[in-house]
Amino acid sequence: MEIRIYSFDLDKKKIKLAENQLIPKSIINKLNIFNKEIIDEYFKKQKGRKGVRSLGNEIRYNEIINNQVFVTENNISLKKITGNRKDFLKDFLDSIDQKNHYYLLFDKEFVRQSSIVDKTSTSIKNIEEDLQTLFRHMSLKKDFNFYFIEFFSIKNHIFTCDEEGFKTIKKINNGF
């Protein structure tokens, strides 16, 4: 899995790239499980078919993802924000009472290549605009920390698309 980490600067009301070491090991473990489950679900769904049009329901209803990845532990949570902008704001406002939050979203190009979620899913740019609007009208305590993890690639895998728009995932060998 390849990711970018962002934080929101409350003073400047801007999203900025953050250091990867800001992610606790428990979140990294959850991301690794999520990555593995995406690959497994993709291979299962494309088996015996032309390919995949969407993987949203498979991710949404995957028991391992729901029971191991998107759960709060030790006051640290990882939330999937792959819905639309309204869904993100609702989830964000619902979670303000907890101290450390990590929100997972997909890079727009990754969404286009993989069809993992709907193309209307929220982007980091949308999130910044929404948070700027929100924090124009409210303030947060400085001890509230939230980060955005943008999933942009599955390491050692590529997506292909046929002329009918069906996507497939393929494992690549980097010569090792």
Residue predicted with more confidence, 132 or 45 = 45
pLDDT at 175 over 60: no
pLDDT given at position 142: 60
Structure-block tokens of residue 95: 């979670």
pLDDT given at position 66: 93
- What pLDDT, in 10s, does the model give residues 74-110? 878 888 887 777 778 887 777 776 667 899 999 999 9
pLDDT given at position 171: 94
Domains of the chain, by residue range, sit at 2-171
pLDDT given at position 84: 75
Could you give the percent of the chain with pLDDT greater than 90?
A: 49
Please name every residue paired with 15 in a beta bridge, in sequence order, or none if there are none. 8
pLDDT given at position 140: 65
Rounded to whole angstroms, the Cα distance separating 19 from 37 reads 25
- What pLDDT, in 10s, does the model give residues 32-56? 999 999 999 999 999 999 999 988 8
pTM over 0.85? The answer is yes
Please, what's the b/e burial string for 140-175 (b: 16 or more CB within 10 A of its CB; e: otherwise)? Answer: eeeeebbbbbbbbbbeebebeeeeeeebbbeeeeee
- What pLDDT, in 10s, does the model give residues 142-172? 666 788 999 999 999 999 999 999 999 999 9
pLDDT band at residue 22 under the 50/70/90 scheme: confident
The CATH fold assigned to 2-171 is Restriction Endonuclease (3.40.91)
